[in-house]
Amino acid sequence: MGRPCFSEALRVHPGRGGCGVGAVADLGGPSRQVVLDALAGLSAMEHRGGCLEATGDGAGLLLRTPRRFFERFVPSARSLAEGEHLSVGMLFFPPGEEGNLPPTQQEIDFVFRREGLKPLAWRKVPVDPTALGEGARRSRKEIWQILVGSGMVARAQLGRALFRVKSRLEHHFRDLYVASLAPDTVLYKAMATGAQLARFYPDLEDPGFVTDLAIFHRRYSTNTFSNWYLAQPFRVLGHNGEINTIKAARSAVRNLEAELGLPGLLMHQGSDSADLDRMVELLVTHGVPLLEALVRLLPAAWADRPAGTVPKEMLAWQRAVRRAMGSLAAWEGPAAVVATDGRWLVGLLDRMGLRPLRWLRTEGGRIVLASEVGAVPTGGSEVVEVGQLDPGEALAVDLDTGQVVRPDAVPQVLLATTRLNHRELATEGLL
């Protein structure tokens, strides 16, 4: 049985609440400690989450996929070819539908094959419902993972192919929720508290479940109801804040759906955070670097900074972004965002800095981002660098190369990697 919630008092004093978000990365490679630290950070920010009668508003981990853990679930008859990429999707089916799942899963397999991908196996995710509160148990989904080989799809095109599959699945199967389906990440989330999450998902307690990146989020529901789909992180990011311009942003995305011929870009009855995630995902899967995608949608007030502190070319780039994006850039409001595309980890604050986000680096190459100092346990002697993001600032980490892009270097990195023809203020082509 779930225990009473520490944060039930927040229902009476909502001003004390605000989602807790963070990340742990290890530049030295995958380890069990990354998962344990992320779970510890999740539990340490329980006071930032919402909970009623032992049912949490939501908690989750978005991780770089631990492939060795999942490879053992691939049947020998369908083994991966040498060099073939393994992706893992996390799907929520409606409760009580287990008997009808085989034909539905066969239809889903067909959608993957149409994209040139190779569905390898379905895995029913082990769960322990007794870890949850009664409300979460009543609404619990049938949770499955699909293991997918890249098949005939080139590595560079894999993200876009999986994105098309996600859009078609959620458009065709209205009761299906694709929690995550990406080349390099997998998402474990639930209508739970931080302490309940690992008990609900035994995978997270398995010694063989190792990774070098985990984003964690503890949700406090403010302007939407609590449910399994709205628990965070989402597919790309965890968000503490709210988008005040969400009506305009959604209208612009719906117009884009018609232009691209991709229905269902926005989550059905989703939250503002969910739709921000979908927009970032769209940009990233179409070739926009993660850091740039976030800065396009949540730009810094560079034009208002003292003369000479921001490169003129950066100001020209920002003007070009406004022209290229138009109303699609209407994402304004308090935001502390932590995001990943499976290679890069990015933390970013909105231009007003209305939510906190701190970071540190240890001597051993561990990076921690969190809403609060001390959320993730670290030995004081290990810490070699600390910082707090100021309004409009971002921090980015390349897990493959170990590069850490500090806030003052972000403009240079954006200019070096953008595909936007900002020198001519080109307006042709959104992406």
Element (H, E) at 360: strand 358-362
- Assign residue 349 a region (left: φ > 0; alpha: ψ between -120 and 50; beta: otherwise): beta
Element (H, E) at 172: helix 158-172
**Whole-angstrom Cα distance, residue 298 to residue 292?**
10
Residue in 19, 91, 214, 267 annotated catalytic: 19
**Whole-angstrom Cα distance, residue 189 to residue 39?**
12
The answer to whether the beta carbons of residues 64 and 137 sit under 8 Å apart is no
**Whole-angstrom Cα distance, residue 431 to residue 296?**
11
Both tokens assigned to 25: 């990365």
- What are 218's strand-pairing partners? 20, 59
Amino acid at 191: M
Q: Is 5 a catalytic residue?
A: no
User: Of 331, 324, 322, whose CA–CA distance to 266 is shortest?
Assistant: 331
**Whole-angstrom Cα distance, residue 428 to residue 431?**
9
Count the alpha carbons within 13 Å of 102 in the hemisphere toward its beta carbon.
1
CB-based contacts of 172, cutoff 8 Å, min separation 6: 111
Residue 221 phi/psi, 5-degree rounding, is: -75, 125
User: CA-based diameter of the chain, in Å?
Assistant: 65
Cα–Cα distances in angstroms (integers) from residue 134 to residues 60, 195, 406, in the given order: 19, 16, 44
Both tokens assigned to 236: 């790309």
The answer to whether the beta carbons of residues 187 and 151 sit under 8 Å apart is no
**Whole-angstrom Cα distance, residue 376 to residue 326?**
39
Both tokens assigned to 88: 């893992």
SS3 (DSSP) at 343: coil
**Whole-angstrom Cα distance, residue 68 to residue 267?**
31
Residues that are catalytic:
19
